[in-house]
Amino acid sequence: MCSINMENVIYLTELDYKRLVDLIQLQRQGAGAPANIGKLGEELKRAKRVASEEIPADVVTMNSRVLLRDLQSGKEMEITLVYPKEADVNARKISIFAPVGTAILGCREGDEVEWPVPSGTIHYKIEKVTFQPESAGNYNL
Written in H, E and C, the secondary structure of the chain is CECCCCCCCEEEEHHHHHHHHHHHHHHHHCCCCCCCHHHHHHHHHCEEEECHHHCCCCECCCCCEEEEEECCCCCEEEEEEECHHHCEHHHCEEECCCHHHHHHCCCECCCEEEEEECCEEEEEEEEEEEECCCCCCCCCC
- Per-residue pLDDT band for 117 (boundaries 50, 70, 90) equals confident
Give the CA radius of gyration of the chain. Answer: 14
Give the number of residues written for the chain: 141
Q: Residue 140 domain-assigned?
A: no
Q: Residue 37 domain-assigned?
A: yes
In terms of DSSP bridges, do strands 47-50 and 10-13 run parallel, antiparallel, or are they unpaired? Answer: parallel
Percent over 90 (pLDDT), the chain: 64
Percent over 70 (pLDDT), the chain: 89
The pair phi, psi for residue 106, each rounded to 5°, is 80, -5
Q: Residue 31 domain-assigned?
A: yes
CATH number for 116:
3.10.50.30
Q: Residue 97 domain-assigned?
A: yes
Whether the pLDDT of residue 47 is over 60: the answer is: yes
Q: Residue 101 domain-assigned?
A: yes
Least confident of 28-32, 62-66, 105-109, 122-126: 28-32
Q: Which domain holds residue 65?
A: 10-131
What pLDDT does residue 6 have?
A: 47
Q: Residue 139 domain-assigned?
A: no
Q: Residue 3 domain-assigned?
A: no
- Number of folded domains that form the chain: 1
Neighbours of 101 (CB within 10 A): 24
- What distance, in Å, lies between the first and last C-alpha atoms of the chain? 23
What pLDDT does residue 38 have?
A: 83
Give how far Cα 51 sits from Cα of 12, 18, 54, 57, 133, Å. Answer: 8, 12, 5, 13, 13
Output the pTM of the full model.
0.89
Mean pLDDT computed over every residue of the chain: 89
Q: Residue 138 domain-assigned?
A: no
Neighbours of 32 (CB within 10 A): 6
Query: What value does the mean pLDDT take over residues 103-114?
Result: 94
